[in-house]
A and B are shown apart, each in its own frame.
Chain A
């Protein structure tokens, strides 16, 4: 591993080093001039050292190994990966736009809630997409080495339909900032697939979305393999009838880390959110899940549901689940559930008692655990491909 050949920094020194590196790259050139100064101010103030001092940041990163900060990163370059699951179907493939002054996505960027988000808001490499009527787009941001901050915005025009395939790849540290604006009555589907069977590679995605009146967002965060993956997903439902459905299926291979931090804001009446996440954790693997549902005073008649289930394959596998509800409206329905456990001996005996060898039976049960989420993927080829890449038969 490349890292071992270089001297390691202390966590604090690494945080400072990375702060300076990201700041030096934050030119804001990919932002509309009207927003540029505003964002560069956030960049100036951002300091990753606060990860160790600010209480809320410490909480946020409590279960996430931060060894990557000890690496004296240099800047990487953006390349394109060849994804395991290329998009297919009827929708036309959309290319990035050149003119970005009026893109709704950029004007709806949320206020940064972490130094990472601030540093990335005025990052160095940009891509902006705009979808009118119908389209799909493929994001294959990739960097072989070094740290790479990458910013993507997607604006989906009212009553349009979008499919987004996010398939990044990294052998270094990829910091991906993706913001989606779902216009009134529009619908967007996001497939975020991670297939990184390498020993190194840190993938950090800060995703956010704003969903307007009667807009719909649906996402599938699918991990086949990732040495270290953290995904923050912040969704704001800003108009009546807006809805978001987040799904996650993570196969966390031995020693890997998958960390998910979700925040859903219900900022308008009659909105709906649904989170269904499952993590299959093998030996020495780690799943961290934080799911926050925040219902504003305006969020009357909110319907919110959240579930995270972790299946620990070995005693050395670890899962942390932290559901959080903050509700400031009185007429809402919020439910959440968390379960963590080992394979049920009853199920295993049942299969074995019918003649299925133990190893096969265990394997079937592992696949079955993730199937609850995978079966919800509306794309058949992706579903079948995913089972195949994970080594499960459907």
Chain B
């Protein structure tokens, strides 16, 4: 589904990703762990198509397409979804307005008619319930005044609404209390499917107890330095990153 080969990327001329290789197949859940500043969010930003992140070498194939040729919205239409580490507030745009535009753009890309208001509201309410979000939150501006936990849940809610193929969660677990973590994990687990893949970027072993990964990678200094099974997360928790920082 996703194949990243020897990816090098710079921000403001400074190399951050330095030859990252990663292969994710449909149905799999990958965890990416690594120290602060390793380049995890940079990888997410490059995948989403954020401006200012320059790919200097390597390639990213998403379902056989060159991802880097696509605009951010086209990546979304193709089935990519990034849950942001720091979702931005957009005052003046309501969640409904936002998701109507997003869903209808997805539908247009597939040649489908826009949803009518009743269908839209039914879908949004169903998915909001999945994340235990009060329906009143749909009338609020995107992320405005949301608590940390609400913001993260709102990201997963959007994921559930847009039904993507590949989901990247960038530290979605940070700042979540145990109840919110459970809600988020349940929603992710409910969406696990043979056709869908997840990349979970995290610092902590905790979320991986709820969402069991197939593969765990350690990202350090812009590269995947070590990969293993779910037990790797536990070892990291005990020993820290230090023993793994020499490439395997």
Chain A hits for B97, CB < 8 A = 364, 393-394
Please tell me if the beta carbons of B73 and A372 are within 8 angstroms of each other in the complex.
no
Dominant SS at the A interface?
Answer: helix
A234 vs B95: C-alpha distance in the bound complex, in angstroms? 39
How many whole Å from A380's CB to the nearest CB in chain B?
15
Interface residues on A, range: 20 to 34
Chain A hits for B76, CB < 8 A = 352-355
Interface string of B99-125 (1 = CB under 8 A from A): 101110110010000000000000000
Please tell me if the beta carbons of B49 and A367 are within 8 angstroms of each other in the complex.
no
Q: Which of A40-48, A182-190, A341-349 contacts B (4 or more CB under 8 A)?
A: A341-349
**Centre residue among B77, B97, B106 by max chain A CB count within 10 A:** B97
Residues of A within 8 A of B (CB): 344-347, 349-358, 360-361, 364-365, 367-372, 375, 393-394
Q: For residue B92, which residue of chain A has the nearest CB?
A: A368
Please tell me if the beta carbons of A350 and B75 are within 8 angstroms of each other in the complex.
no
A349 vs B87: C-alpha distance in the bound complex, in angstroms? 11
Chain B hits for A354, CB < 8 A = 76, 98-99, 102, 158, 162
Please tell me if the beta carbons of B92 and A355 are within 8 angstroms of each other in the complex.
no
How many whole Å from A310's CB to the nearest CB in chain B?
15
Give the total of B residues in contact with A, Cβ under 8 Å.
32
Please tell me if the beta carbons of A368 and B87 are within 8 angstroms of each other in the complex.
no
| B69: Cβ under 8 A from any A Cβ | no
How many whole Å from B243's CB to the nearest CB in chain A?
36
Please tell me if the beta carbons of A364 and B73 are within 8 angstroms of each other in the complex.
no
11 contacts between A and B (CB under 8 A): A349-B50, A349-B72, A351-B90, A351-B102, A352-B72, A364-B93, A368-B92, A368-B93, A371-B91, A372-B92, A393-B97
How many whole Å from A316's CB to the nearest CB in chain B?
21
A99 vs B9: C-alpha distance in the bound complex, in angstroms? 78
| B62: Cβ under 8 A from any A Cβ | no
Please tell me if the beta carbons of A355 and B105 are within 8 angstroms of each other in the complex.
yes
Chain A hits for B99, CB < 8 A = 354
Chain A hits for B103, CB < 8 A = 355
| B88: Cβ under 8 A from any A Cβ | yes
Chain B hits for A370, CB < 8 A = 92
How many whole Å from A360's CB to the nearest CB in chain B?
6
Chain A hits for B12, CB < 8 A = none
Interface string of B146-177 (1 = CB under 8 A from A): 00000000000010001000000000000000
A367 vs B97: C-alpha distance in the bound complex, in angstroms? 12
Chain A hits for B71, CB < 8 A = 352, 358
Chain A hits for B52, CB < 8 A = 345
Known contacts A353-B76, A354-B76; is-contact A372 B91 (Cβ 8 Å): yes
